[in-house]
Amino acid sequence: MRFAAPLLAILLLPAASDPPRIPFAVHGLFGDNMVLQRDLPVAVWGTAEAGRKVAVGIGGKEKTATADAGGRWKTVLDPLKAGGPFELTVTADRTITFHNVLVGEVWLCSGQSNMGWSVRLSANAEQEIAAAAHPRIRLFTVARRESPSPQTDVAGVWQSCTPATVPTFSAVAYFFGRALEKSLDVPIGLVHSSVGATRAQAWTPRPVLEGTPAFKDVFTQHEREKTTAKGYTPVEPSTLYNGMIAPLVPFAVRGVIWYQGEGNVGSPKLHETLFPALIRSWREAWGTELPFLFVQLASHLARKDAPVESYWAMLRESQRLSLAVPKTAMAVAIDIGDENDIHPKNKQEVGRRLALAAEATVYGRDVVYSGPMATSMKREAGRIRLSFDHVGGGLAFRDNRAAGFAVAGDDRKFVWAEAKIEGKTVVVWSDAVAKPSMVQYGWADNPDCTLINKEGLPASPFQLDR
């Protein structure tokens, strides 16, 4: 009998094979003050004990789900109309209630440091912060996380937009959301997920990088940099997608705004195929053709006296060419850069131009949303005639001064060119090039370029040849 007590204790121990209890929880994107996407099915998901029934309710409507063997559950709410505030309830063994929930437009805002750049570090910060009382704009910042494999949850808190909450939030995202809220007159949710000094490959799924021969070098480049870098090593490919984008799927969003590219300036040809692959991979993850609006790199570094090759110009060209991907739009920022700072402070105009792109391409508003985009060139007796899309009310030169054009013959030796506007075209020439066959515009790190439409939006830099 002296072994009875120890034996009883052993018998009372849980069996080693018993699975751990899975807690009832809702995904970290759901919380007080959140915004749900209007007019689209809205997924709600989380964890619970296997077999547990979960009910999700909002506005008097309810959907149910049952946790699978792995403890995961998901249900999809029918499309909701803009409005609120509502309470969102999720019930299993207890009820979790999210308060002050609005329904409106939700955008994912991602990229590197110019997307992450805060309101308090932007132009006119004091005035902007003081005026930032927008109770229908809600802000969520995804906590930084690098992961070798795709994650399923995120950390973050939804906040109403106030002078107390906006200072550290993404300035581009805030100014974009502010313009949209005014234009659409509905609640706006902004999910900010960016990390400074990162390359597009860090935000691209690993299977995409591994399955494309053109992207193989991104892994060898990273390994090489790990052994040679002093003080800083670029983020490993795919790890930010795994930690900060994959966990957001399938949260319903209207689209994506993206400000990145500085990190890829050294490899513009790679970016030419990598960026469209990133866009496609995010769309595949969400299972829908998400509108993707992005910012072309602003001017930066010292201005040159003569035409020279430029990696910054080549990266901008790769961004321009990405407009061939359906449901994309580009906000040109060549006129609002900073020679001495890679983080230009005028984030208000960047946000406004992205919002114009959204209004026109996503919401069907009749607005001019882009500056002139070169479409073709035609050689004419020692001159080149350029045609453009997005001329708006007409072409113009800022300050009535033509600048930024260069031409070359077959020898590819570029010289500055003269230019004049003829209707919806621009004619360029140089007495130093008898038979021009190539033309550049704004082709420099920090170009002096003045072509705009009459709505004041700048033309995108470009390079064309016959």
Q: Quick check: is 4 in a domain?
A: no
The kind and range of the H/E element at 194 are strand 188-194
Mean pLDDT of the chain: 95
Task: Tell me the three state secondary structure of residue 23.
Answer: coil
Report d(CA 144, CA 57) in Å as an integer. 31
Cα–Cα distance for residue pair 188/330, rounded to 1 Å: 21
Same domain, 355 and 381: no
The answer on 379 and 266 residing in a single domain is no
**Is residue 316 located within the same domain as residue 398?**
no
- Asked whether residue 3 is assigned to any structural domain, the reply reads no
With respect to residue 9, please indicate whether it lies within any of the assigned structural domains.
no
Whether residue 11 is contained in a domain is answered as: no
DSSP symbols for 24-41:
PEE-TT--TT-EEETTS-
Q: What integer pLDDT is reported at residue 19 of this predicted model?
A: 63
Residue after which a domain boundary falls, among 37, 69, 102: 102
The domain total for the chain is 3
| 160 & 125 share domain | yes
CA distance 391 to 230: 47
pLDDT at 20: 74
What are φ and ψ of residue 437, in 5° steps?
-130, -5
Q: Which of 57, 75, 102 marks a domain boundary?
A: 102
Same domain, 86 and 118: no
Q: Tell me how far apart the alpha carbons of residues 210 and 277 are, in angstroms, rounded to a whole number.
A: 12
Q: Does residue 368 lie in a domain region? A: no
Q: What 3 state SS string does 421-462 have?
A: EECCEEEEECCCCCCCCEEEECCCCCCCCCEEECCCCECCCE
Give CA separation, 297 vs 20, 154, 216, in Å.
50, 29, 25
Those residues whose C-beta lies under 8 Å from the C-beta of residue 13, and which sit 6 or more positions away, are none
| Paired tokens of 87 | 């309470």
Of 56, 81, 102, the last residue of a domain is: 102
Mean local confidence (pLDDT), 438-449: 98
- The verdict on 182 and 197 lying in the same domain is yes
Q: Report the CATH number at residue 95.
A: 2.60.40.10
Burial (0-12, 13-18, 19+ Cβ within 10 Å), 325: middle
**Any idea what the Cα angle at residue 258 is, between residues 254 and 263, rounded to 5°?**
160
Query: Could you give the residue ranges of the DSSP H alpha helices within 295-377?
Result: 311-321, 347-361
Q: Is residue 16 part of a domain?
A: no
Mean pLDDT of 337-366: 98
Question: Residues 328, 221: one domain?
Answer: yes
Same domain flag for 318 and 350 = yes
**Residue span of the structural domain in which 68 resides:** 25-102
Report if residue 12 sits inside a domain. Answer: no
Average pLDDT over residues 225-238: 86
Give the whole-angstrom CA distance, residue 264 versus residue 311. Answer: 9
Where residue 144 sits, what CATH number does that domain have? 3.40.50.1110
Predicted pLDDT at 21: 86
Give CA–CA dist 80/103, Å, rounded.
7
Residue 7 lies in a domain: no
> Is residue 337 within 8 Å of residue 300, measured between CB atoms?
yes
Q: Is the pLDDT confidence value at 206 over 90?
A: yes
Contacts of 51 by beta carbon, 8 Å cutoff, 6+ apart: 66, 67
Q: Are residues 65 and 116 in the same domain?
A: no
How far apart (Å, rounded) are the C-alpha atoms in residues 272 and 261?
11
164 and 231 housed in the same domain: yes
Same domain, 164 and 310: yes
Write out pLDDT tens, residues 165-178: 999 999 999 999 99
Task: Give the pLDDT confidence of 1-20 residue by residue, as tens digits.
Answer: 444 444 444 444 554 556 67
Going by pLDDT thresholds of 50, 70 and 90, the confidence category of residue 152 is very high
Instruction: Return the HEC string of 64-132.
Output: EEECCCCCEEEEEECCCCCEEEEEEEEECCCEEEEEEEEEEEEEEEEECHHHHCEHHHCCCHHHHHHCC
pLDDT tens, 372-411?
999 999 999 999 999 999 999 999 999 999 999 999 999 9
Is residue 53 within 8 A of residue 66, CB to CB? The reply is yes
Contact predicate 361/370, CB 8 Å: no
The per-residue pLDDT for range 299-327, each reduced to its tens digit, is 999 999 999 999 999 999 999 999 999 99
Is the Cβ–Cβ distance between 71 and 88 less than 8 Å?
A: no
Q: What is the pLDDT of residues 64-83, one digit of tens each?
A: 999 999 999 999 999 999 99
Q: Do 140 and 283 belong together in one domain?
A: yes
Which 3 state secondary structure label does DSSP give 42? strand
pLDDT 10s digits, 271-302: 999 999 999 999 999 999 999 999 999 999 99
